[in-house]
Amino acid sequence: MKNPVARLLDSGNLVVSDGDHEKNNARDIIWQSFDYPGDTLIAGMKAGIDLVTGLDRYYTSWKSVDDPSTGSFIGRLDPNGFPQFFRSKGYDKWSRTGPWNGRQFSGSPKLNPDGIYTEKFVFNEKEIYYMFDPINSTSANVRLKITPNGDIKHLIWNHQKKIWMVYFTEMVSDCDIYGLCGAAGICNTNNSPRCECLSGFVPKSPEKWKAVDWSSGCVRETELDCGTEVGFLKYTGVKLPDTQHSKYDLKISLEECRRSCLENCNCTAYANADIRNGGSGCILWFNDLMDIKGYTTDGQDIYVRMPASELVFALILMLAFWRRKQKKEGKKLTDTNRFIINRNFACNRTTSETMALNKIETEDWELPLVDLKRIVKATDNFSQDNKIGEGGFGPVYKGKMNDGKEIAVKRLSKNSGQGVDEFRNEVSCIAKLQHRNLVTLLGCCTEKGERILIYEYMTNKSLDSFIFVDQSRNLLDWPKRHHIINGIARGLLYLHQDSKLRIIHRDLKASNILLDHEMNPKISDFGMARRFEGSQTEGNTARIVGTYGYISPEYAIDGVFSVKSDVYSFGVLLTEIVSGKKNRLFSHPNHSLNLIGNAWKCYNEDALSGLVDEAILDSKNQMEVVRVIQTGLLCVQEDPIDRPVMSHVVLMLSSTMKLPHPKKPGFFMERKLRDADCLLSNSNFSSGNQLAITTILPRE
């Protein structure tokens, strides 16, 4: 090449071609930057392998946010068996996408929920690669970036502000860690503990399993014997096992796939390669089933080989259990019409509420029904001596069951503004959610028109009883407060990103954070929560609910709520935990700003010590305290676009990465509290079904 020519194309690709023979087509390109992605994939760039030339296009993280040298994480296609992508940390497998199933990678959430670009996975004899393209020339500019800590950020260019905004973040949760549950183990983020063995398998090392070390995996209770009959047990909605050692045929049906597995004694499982149009193609596994993750909507089906005797035994057990249950509970079902929640069930607050409560629906949200007599006995007939609190829903009582288990009983007050909708909403939002930082719902009761929820009892009650009470505030040193802050953040991250549905709490505040005997925080009270499905990212309502001082500006003014509404409330809560003061009741001798306004003022004047609670002023973790304050201010920025999502908040709180400077917060202007507002605040007013907007008055 005597006359090389370098050109930067509109696509962002830097190409070098021979100027003497240049014909402006791909065959004349000698070198191109698109073949060496660095830490970023952009539209039109391939991630994968050219099987003809051997070119391997993979992406690598930076060492840090300001050091572009090669970091610890690599995203790379593995062409062995049925192709899949791995993220490696150093030389170790860190996480896995699962194979492409025609719509998405089976182990990853849908990467393009709003359809702003098209995805393509090419798999033929010449090349295997993943690529995305904008839908049209006017679509948003998108890029994917692997961060120094291994997350994948989806960024969209904001033409108005001339900045890249985070659209979506793929974070590696515990169940995404490669092989967390070992061979034949399945990980589910909604379960605690996370790992369990597939049916017909038991822990290989029961001692390690009890110690929450699942790496040794599971082994079959009954070994497969080629001379005996076998069948298959179907698992629905999972991330398919590691396909490195699998075999595949893209042309046969699922039934032919089953027969192929039956004919080979070493075949352990099979599944469709493509789930579109009813399914097609075949993947066969012959080794241990490694790295399976449980899903609800994003995964696919797999059929695991089992001895016929195991399948028959399982069927007999299920039938016997069903018959015993019918015999034991048949009368109770007739008398009380067991209450089963369906997320599609809706009823209005009418005179037929009792009929609505007793209606049996499909079992999407099944929850144990507890007899009213047992609850009355446990609470000593709802004795005032057992009353431990009261909110917009009604009073809460401490109870003790016959087996000694302590419970918290939440009873809807007859005078409450809340009704069946809120009762059903709370149950449907939390009934099947399991996270160490969410309160556990144990059961409910709807007898005789009652609406009662039964929760695990929290020994240390709510967070507000510590941080806002002088006698108790000194019990919370900085390590305890930091532990509580991180726990709340992880609970919110689960609700916003990792749970089966995206859930917006809409009433996050100190009194809705409960503390167990080890001071672990648990988010409670989901009566105002809303669920988002599919690609939905925000909602709108004419009825504003929540609590004074915690409501975001866009929600209070326009009725628009999203995950960023909860982020705002979390930012207020952070500032309250650090300062030991309430946002709305805060007063200062030199100005009339609320707590958020005071935090903003202290930050700009580099005087944050004036904000921090005296109980933690002697803390040796001053930099950590400052970091929390700055994170809180980032969360309460006026424009929701500027606020971080919870995955970023968790990272900010747990790392030493440099934080951006926050912009002006919302609802921080000077104001004068009216007498009526003070009365509401002093009574710990929660809006329930009423309008609740923080009063904003101009500077006098």
Q: Tell me the sheet residues that pair with 232.
A: 305
Tokens of 323: 């018959």
Q: What is d(CA 97, CA 104) in angstroms, rounded to the nearest whole number? A: 9
4, 18 in Cβ contact below 8 A?
A: yes
Q: What is d(CA 332, CA 152) in angstroms, rounded to the nearest whole number? A: 51
286, 266 in Cβ contact below 8 A?
A: yes
Q: What is d(CA 142, CA 117) in angstroms, rounded to the nearest whole number? A: 8
CA-nearest of 324, 335, 530, 499 to 422 is 530
Number of H helices, E strands in the chain: 15, 38
* Three-class secondary structure of residue 389 per DSSP: strand
Residue from 507, 525, 566, 613 carrying the catalytic annotation: 507
Tokens of 140: 């948003």
Q: Is 370 exposed, middle or buried (0-12, 13-18, 19+ CB in 10 A)?
A: buried
CA-nearest of 410, 414, 406, 416 to 396 is 410
Q: What is d(CA 684, CA 692) in angstroms, rounded to the nearest whole number? A: 13
For 215, 353, 355, 422, 573, the CA distances from 347, given in Å and listed in that order, are 47, 8, 10, 10, 33
Rounded (10°) angle between helices 563-579 and 595-604: 80
667, 518 in Cβ contact below 8 A?
A: no
Q: What is d(CA 587, CA 690) in angstroms, rounded to the nearest whole number? A: 26
Q: Is 606 a catalytic residue?
A: no
Q: Among all residues, which ones are annotated catalytic?
A: 507
